[in-house]
Structure formats: C-alpha cells, structure tokens
Structure 1
Amino acid sequence: MEDVLVPIVAVATLFLGLPWVIFHYITKWKTAATITGEDEKLLDELHYLARQLEERLQTVERIIAADNPEFRALPRTGSENEPYDFSRRN
C-alpha cells in the first residue's frame, strides 16, 4: 500500500499543488502591481513640486551668476528630464 501512495502524492503535488502555488502568487502579484488613484495623485503633486523646485533653482543660479561672474553652476547633461549625474561632478 505504501508503495502506491508515494507516487500518487508525488504526482498530485506536481500536477495540482505546484501550479496552484504558482497561479496563486501570479494573481497576488498582478493585483498588487496596480497603482491606486491616491498614489497617482500623490505622484502628480510630487512631480509638480519637483518642477517648482527646479525653476527656483534655476532662478537662484541666474541671480548668483549675475552678482558673481566667476560663479559656475553645476553642468547639466542631457535633457532636463534626466537626473543629474553626480559622479561626473568636478
């Protein structure tokens, strides 16, 4: 009897248990990966604040450059949407 029970349990685990665990975590992953409306609103606010800070920084740099001709702002590479690469700083 025990000789028959082990292969049945092994086959059941392989063909029933393993796919169930895989599909369970796939559905959990898909439901958790969605962004809520509140998260989207927060991201929009943070993006707006980042734009405002960037504009303020540019204004301060222009004022300092007007007062001090030797002032050299951090060099910007690429488009304005790309983050500044601090590893290239002198």
Structure 2
Amino acid sequence: MEDVFLPIIIVGMLFIGLPWLIFHYVTQWKRSSSLTVEDENLLDELHDTARRLDDRLRSIERIIAADNPDFRPGQISDRSENPEYRRADEPERIENWRRGEHR
C-alpha cells in the first residue's frame, strides 16, 4: 500500500507544489520591483524641488544678465554638458565611487 502513496505524493509535489512555489516567488519578485506609494511620493517631491531650483537658477541668470552685459544666459546651467568644465579624472572618480573608495 505504501508503494501506491509514494508516487502520488511525488506527482502531487511536482505538478502542484513546484508550480505554486515558482508562482509565489515570481509574484513576490514582481511586487518588490515596483515602486511603492512612498517611493512615488518621494519622486514627486524631488521633481518639484528640482523644478523650483531650476526656476531659481533661471531667475539668478536673468539678474546676472541684467547687471553684466557680457553674461550669456544659460552659461551656468550649461556646465554639466560642456566638456570644458568636466574634470579630467571624472571616469576614474566614478569608478572609485563604485568600488567604495570615495572616502
């Protein structure tokens, strides 16, 4: 009689238990990979802060342009895209940061 129950248990584990286990962890993985409400609120807050900072920078540029005729608006904010302002060791600094050697 024991010889009959063992194959039934093994087949049940293969066709019911294993797929349930796989689907359970796939669901957990998908749930954890999405943004939580707190993360979305933080991103919205950071976006608003960045927008306000950009508005302030443009206001400062307008004030400087009014005081200095040689000033070109956008000059301050263009530094990140301009290769002239990039440091020569920037790729090395980024790699050191990734390795944890930034201290």
Equivalent in the alignment of 1:40: 40
Question: Per residue, is there more helix in 1 or in 2?
Answer: 2
Deviation string, structure 1 residues 25-66 (Cα, Å, up to 9, x no partner): 533320111211111111111111111000000000000000
Q: Secondary structure at the match of 1:44?
A: helix
Equivalent in the alignment of 1:70: 70
Unaligned runs of 5+ residues in structure 1 are 1-14, 77-83
Contact 1:74 1:89 (8 Å CA) reproduced: no
Matched, 1:60 2:60: yes
Aligned match for 1:86, one of 56, 70, 80: 80
In the aligned structure 2, how far is the partner of 1:58 from the partner of 1:31?
Answer: 40
Identity %: 53
Q: Which runs of 4+ in 1 moved over 4 A?
A: 18-25
Equivalent in the alignment of 1:10: none
Aligned-pair RMSD on alpha carbons? 3.2
In the aligned structure 1, how far is the partner of 2:79 from the partner of 2:22?
Answer: 40
Shift of 1:21: 7.9
Equivalent residue pairs, number: 70
Q: Secondary structure at the match of 1:71?
A: coil
